[in-house]
């Protein structure tokens, strides 16, 4: 009752703010190939990147250490002028001048030491998303790296962490801006005995970019801080609709990272089903499939194995299908093409069979504590947002501790979403298991055991997770729609 009345008011408010908005689930395309937003929303068609170039192989961050078991490297976050659209120079913020940033690739057991030099005009940090690093090495908002200074991060990569992670800034209030200007890159941890080592792999970092008519990254406005940043062109490894060419019959492992600020990727590949082999924290116990589609929420990663058609000279599209991420139709993303899979005219290569089991996902045991966290909305948010999204009724304060857990204790968390939007909720410091989802009184157990650091909690539903923090310190818990995080949808554990 109360919720309905509230939504009525806010809908009217949005209508007033958005002249021409019909309020329905749109799905139309804007000009210049910038899909993904509703007709009537105030995004001027901007400059778009030329589609159809070859999929880029992301450069690796060079290891400066010759010692076994050490990974030592340097990153500089700095303004950088890049040529993205014909005849224009786009001012970005990049790691080591690269768009996207360099891939950190390490092995389980490595000691990592990465120096981050901040040449940006504002505070930044490097956050090692999903990795169990000590709290004081995690690039938390409480540890800003000031402009003109260098910070060295040092941590170990424990065994069992092999998987696909990423790194990005976490300076409070400007994460969305820093990521949308180019600061995001993969961080891959390899195992000594990878059961899929025989399968060729490709890393696909999906990012979004919204350019104005001059080819400059458009800033976030109140609507972005309310709904997440819409109207972006989706890029894979920095290219728009790149072409990935393989031999017919090839078996490939794709590590797909959703580094967009707010775009849910409901992935489907024309003419192909695929097999899910890994999530945020690495491999599943056993392959899951065949699947026709999979949703990768903002910040999540998946590893899928694709058995490519044996047809020579064929082309298939990897799409991010239409997705509705709220109950008011404001967060409707139309279907967009992400990448073209093309086969060569060579004779088909033999396929590679998947092993029956991958890596055990070991349940941490019975929970000794239960927590219930409620996501709500308020009438007016920070950063000009039309709503504030709150965790247990509060907006972020980095000087406050919101939850206390005991080191090593297994907990269940019921994350209740009482807002009109879906929120991909992310917890630092560890990987967790999804136990079940509840929607309209119906509880659905998780279909398979998998490690996550980000769980989507759709509007009006509850997700229950099982989690254990093995390292002490302050950990962030937040929505990974970066504009929501910046506007205060974050708590301290
Ligand atoms: Cu990827 Cu706290 O963030
Ligand atoms: Cu994180
Ligand atoms: Cu959110």
Query: Residue 229 CA: which ligand is closest?
Result: 3
Residue 2 banded pLDDT, cuts 50, 70, 90:
very low
Any domain includes 27: no
Contact 377, 389 (CB under 8 A): yes
Q: Give the whole-number percent of the chain exceeding pLDDT 70.
A: 91
- Is any ligand 1 atom within 6 A of the Cβ of residue 299? yes
Query: Within 10 A of 308 (CB to CB), how many other CB atoms are there?
Result: 24
* pLDDT given at position 44: 55
Higher pLDDT, 224 or 374: 374
Task: Please give the average per-residue pLDDT across 470-486, as a whole number.
Answer: 97
Going by CA atoms, what residue is nearest to atom 3 of ligand 1?
129
Is a pLDDT exceeding 60 seen at residue 342? Answer: yes
If asked whether residues 396 and 333 sit together in one domain, one would say: no
| 239 vs 236: CA distance, rounded Å | 5
Is a pLDDT exceeding 80 seen at residue 459? Answer: yes
Task: Please give the average per-residue pLDDT across 390-410, as a whole number.
Answer: 97
If asked whether residues 182 and 211 sit together in one domain, one would say: no
Helix, strand, or coil here: 8? helix
Residue 43 banded pLDDT, cuts 50, 70, 90:
low
Range of the domain at 106: 70-190
DSSP conformational letter for 386: S
Residue 353 banded pLDDT, cuts 50, 70, 90:
very high
If asked whether residues 338 and 402 sit together in one domain, one would say: no
Residues with CB under 5 Å of ion ligand 2 are 129, 428
Query: Residue 389 CA: which ligand is closest?
Result: 3
What would the pLDDT profile of 220-272 be if each residue is shown by its tens digit? 988 898 889 988 999 999 999 999 999 999 999 999 999 999 999 999 999 99
Chosen domain end from 190, 222, 255:
190
Q: What CATH number is associated with residue 403?
A: 2.60.40.420
CA 425 to chain centre: 11
- Is any ligand 1 atom within 6 A of the Cβ of residue 427? no
- Is any ligand 1 atom within 6 A of the Cβ of residue 127? yes
C-alpha of residue 262 to centroid of ligand 2, in Å: 15
If asked whether residues 425 and 446 sit together in one domain, one would say: yes
Ligand 1 atom nearest the C-alpha of 428 is: 2
C-alpha of residue 28 to centroid of ligand 1, in Å: 31
Residue 333, CB-side half-sphere exposure with 13 Å CA sphere: 27
Give me the DSSP letters along 189-234.
EE-TT-TTTTS-EEEEEEEEE-B-TTSPBPPP-HHHHHH---SPEE
What would the pLDDT profile of 187-204 be if each residue is shown by its tens digit? 999 999 999 999 999 999
- Is any ligand 1 atom within 6 A of the Cβ of residue 301? no
* pLDDT given at position 14: 42
Query: Residue 171 CA: which ligand is closest?
Result: 1
Longest dimension (CA), the chain: 65
- Is any ligand 1 atom within 6 A of the Cβ of residue 255? no
Query: How many domains are contained in the chain?
Result: 3
* pLDDT given at position 8: 37
- Is any ligand 1 atom within 6 A of the Cβ of residue 478? yes
* pLDDT given at position 13: 39
If asked whether residues 149 and 207 sit together in one domain, one would say: no
């Amino acid at each position: 009752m109360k919720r309905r009345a509230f939504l009525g008011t806010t809908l009217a408010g949005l209508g007033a703010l958005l002249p021409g908005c019909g309020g329905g689930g749109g799905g139309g395309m804007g000009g210049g190939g910038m899909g993904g937003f509703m007709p009537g929303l105030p995004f001027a068609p901007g400059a778009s990147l030329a589609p159809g170039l070859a999929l880029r192989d992301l450069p690796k961050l060079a290891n400066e250490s010759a010692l076994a078991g050490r990974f030592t490297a340097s990153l500089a976050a700095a303004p950088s002028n890049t040529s993205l659209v014909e005849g224009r120079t786009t001012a970005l913020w990049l790691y080591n001048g690269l768009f996207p940033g360099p891939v950190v690739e390490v092995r389980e057991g490595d000691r990592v030491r990465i120096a981050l030099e901040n040449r940006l005009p504002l505070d930044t940090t490097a956050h090692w998303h999903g990795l169990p690093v000590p709290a004081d090495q995690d690039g938390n908002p409480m540890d800003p790296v000031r402009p003109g200074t260098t910070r060295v991060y040092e941590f170990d990569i424990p065994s069992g962490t092999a998987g696909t992670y990423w790194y990005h800034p976490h300076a409070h209030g400007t994460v969305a801006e820093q990521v949308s200007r180019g600061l995001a890159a993969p961080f891959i941890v390899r195992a000594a005995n990878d059961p899929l080592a025989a399968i060729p792999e490709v890393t696909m970092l999906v990012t979004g970019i919204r350019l104005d008519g001059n080819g400059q990254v458009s800033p976030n406005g109140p609507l972005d801080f309310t709904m997440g940043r819409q109207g972006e062109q989706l890029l894979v490894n920095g290219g728009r609709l790149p072409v990935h060419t393989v031999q017919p019959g090839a078996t490939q492992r794709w590590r797909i990272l959703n580094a967009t600020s707010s775009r849910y990727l409901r992935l489907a590949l024309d003419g192909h089903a695929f097999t899910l082999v890994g999530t945020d924290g690495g491999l599943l116990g056993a392959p899951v499939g065949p699947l026709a589609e999979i949703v990768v929420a903002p910040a999540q990663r998946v590893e899928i194995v694709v058995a490519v058609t044996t047809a020579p000279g064929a082309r298939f599209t990897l799409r991010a299908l239409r997705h509705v991420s709220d109950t008011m139709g404001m967060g409707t993303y139309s279907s967009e093409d992400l990448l073209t899979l093309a086969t060569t005219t060579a004779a088909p290569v033999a396929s590679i069979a998947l092993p029956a089991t991958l890596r055990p996902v070991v349940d941490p045991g019975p929970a000794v504590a239960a927590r219930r966290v409620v996501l709500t909305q308020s009438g007016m948010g920070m950063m000009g947002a039309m709503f504030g999204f709150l965790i247990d009724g509060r907006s972020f304060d980095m000087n406050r501790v919101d939850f206390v857990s005991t080191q090593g204790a297994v907990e269940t968390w019921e994350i209740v979403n009482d807002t009109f939007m879906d929120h991909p909720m992310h917890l630092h410091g560890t990987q967790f298991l999804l136990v079940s989802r509840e929607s309209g009184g119906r509880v659905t157990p998780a279909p398979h055991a998998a490690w996550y650091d980000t769980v989507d909690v759709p509007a009006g539903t509850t997700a229950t997770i099982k989690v254990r923090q093995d390292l002490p310190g302050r950990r962030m818990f937040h929505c990974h729609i970066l504009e929501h995080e910046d506007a205060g949808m974050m708590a301290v554990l």
